[in-house]
């Protein structure tokens, strides 16, 4: 028991000291195992920096190879190693880098993206991006209940949806390219003093759930000319959907540019702080078992909607519904599958307004490769006869939208 143990791979006087007890052998085993695990940890850490790197081969080292390397490091025989305490790297799970939209110093900004867009349309779009940047900040810093917001001293301020409304009107007026604007908060056409385009918007969709800290959003559509009554979604020149969640994003669809495109507001105090940069593009909405069913009260006297809901339930669709149309539609774009539905009935009337919500989001969804319907046709074909017009709606993959038309349709309205 007093025989010194030869250690060839470590230059340490401590390890060359005589091993006087079982405890000292265990200490050397521990040092050797820790040394190998340190190599494993460094290798795994290095491999994680590659976007598509596999786990380093040492991380999946077989038990026998691990023991052999430990023996080489400590000089101990296999029989001296405590097998019952083996916690080798073979227990580690393979790791892959998580794929996410990459934003770099070379990422395209919204200004660059719109470089070839008609100048007045570009100004109108940029006015909405500027407004949504300010709204995003106000939402993050507001202290709100269901009726109003308060400052740091507890003084009541304007409700956050009213603040958002004012911010958008101010930016549109300052652009000089907007002749008429109309808000869902006050559904009248307002003269903006400019010329070129007209903008309809919902300043804060989902404001009723903002006190719960759920994601909310802004929706807008941009039409050519100076009027908003009598227009159709097919005439839209651009539409956008801002999302105020853990990140602030804007998904934009523009006439003449294929697809819908998400821009991320950089908020990390880097050199790009405050910029909107392209983070991902949406070109396809495929089939998949994900559903967001709104206005479920309509199932009581809309047998078609009840049948559709039971179909989703019986076929084990994933329920993903927050109560806010913006985040619920946004997940369909990001996940690339699913359906959002808000059907109506005689007792549960349609709530969503064609001008401010239904048509702009329908434009984005169809540009992204999906479909929309009011139960019998694309919502883009519906003419806005008055600003208060409402419609039931479904957005999503073409197959899911077709099923909505087949089962729900318009026969129970």
Active site residues: 155, 161, 184-185, 202, 204-205, 357
Q: What whole-number distance in Å separates Cα of residue 237 and Cα of residue 198? A: 10
Secondary element (H or E) of residue 139: helix 119-141
Please state, in angstroms and as integers, the Cα–Cα distance from residue 254 to each residue in 162, 227, 266, 372, 377, following that order: 27, 19, 22, 17, 22
Residues near 100 by beta carbon (within 8 Å), at least 6 away in sequence: none
Distance CA 374, CA 370 (A): 14
Strand order from edge to edge, sheet including 393-396: 318-319, 286-294, 337-342, 393-396, 371-373
Whether the CB-CB separation of 375 and 326 falls below 8 Å is answered with no
Q: At a CB cut-off of 8 Å and minimum separation 6, what does 309 contact?
A: 293, 296, 299
DSSP 152-211: TT--EE--HHHHHHHHHHHHHHHHS-EEEEEETTEEEEEE-S--SEEEEEEEEETGGGGG
CB 222 within 8 A of CB 204: no
User: Under 8 Å CB-to-CB from 355, ≥6 apart: which residues?
Assistant: 182, 187, 200, 221, 228, 231, 384, 387, 389
Alpha-carbon torsion angle 35, 40, 46, 51, nearest 10: -170
Which residue, among 169, 162, 220, has the nearest Cα to 191 in the 3D structure? 169
Q: What is the distance between the alpha carbons of residues 324 and 107, in angstroms, rounded to a whole number?
A: 30
Which DSSP letter does residue 97 get? P
d(CA 90, CA 93) in angstroms, rounded, equals 8
d(CA 270, CA 66): 44
Is residue 359 within 8 A of residue 384, CB to CB? The reply is: yes
């Amino acid at each position: 028991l007093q025989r010194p143990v030869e250690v060839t791979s470590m230059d340490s006087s401590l390890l060359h000291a005589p091993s006087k007890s079982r405890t000292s052998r265990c200490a050397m085993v521990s040092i050797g195992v820790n040394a190998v695990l340190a190599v494993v940890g460094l290798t795994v850490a290095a491999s994680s920096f590659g976007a598509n790197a596999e786990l380093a081969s040492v991380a999946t080292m077989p038990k026998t190879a691990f023991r052999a390397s430990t023996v080489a490091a400590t000089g101990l025989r296999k029989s001296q190693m405590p097998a019952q305490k083996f916690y080798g790297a073979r227990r580690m799970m393979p790791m892959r880098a998580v794929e996410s939209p990459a934003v770099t110093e070379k990422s395209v900004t919204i200004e660059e993206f719109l470089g070839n867009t008609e100048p007045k349309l570009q100004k109108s779009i940029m006015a909405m991006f500027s407004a949504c940047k300010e709204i995003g900040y106000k939402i993050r810093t507001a202290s709100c209940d269901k009726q109003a917001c308060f400052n740091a001293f507890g003084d009541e301020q304007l409700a956050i949806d009213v603040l958002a409304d004012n911010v958008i009107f101010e930016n549109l007026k300052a652009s000089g390219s907007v002749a008429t604007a109309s808000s869902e908060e006050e559904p009248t056409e307002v003269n903006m003093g400019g010329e070129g385009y007209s903008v309809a918007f919902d300043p804060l969709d989902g404001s009723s759930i903002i006190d719960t800290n759920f994601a909310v959003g802004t929706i807008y559509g941009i039409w050519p000319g100076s009027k908003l009554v009598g227009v159709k979604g097919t005439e839209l020149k651009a539409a956008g959907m801002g999302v105020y969640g853990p990140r602030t994003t804007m998904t934009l669809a523009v006439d003449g540019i294929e697809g819908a495109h998400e821009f991320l507001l950089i908020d990390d105090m880097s050199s790009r702080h405050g910029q909107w940069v392209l983070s991902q593009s949406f070109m396809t909405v495929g089939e998949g078992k994900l559903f967001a069913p709104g206005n479920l009260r309509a199932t009581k006297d809309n047998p078609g909607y009840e049948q559709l809901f039971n179909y989703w339930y019986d076929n084990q669709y994933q329920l993903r519904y927050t109560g806010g149309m913006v985040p619920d539609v946004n997940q369909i774009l990001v996940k690339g599958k699913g359906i959002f539905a808000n059907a109506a009935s005689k007792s549960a009337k349609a709530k969503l307004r064609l001008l401010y919500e239904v048509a702009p989001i329908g434009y984005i969804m169809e540009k992204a490769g999906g479909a929309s319907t009011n139960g019998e046709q694309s919502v883009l074909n519906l003419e806005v006869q008055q600003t208060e017009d409402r419609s039931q709606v479904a957005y999503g993959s073409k197959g899911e939208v077709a099923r909505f038309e087949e089962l729900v349709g318009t026969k129970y309205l």
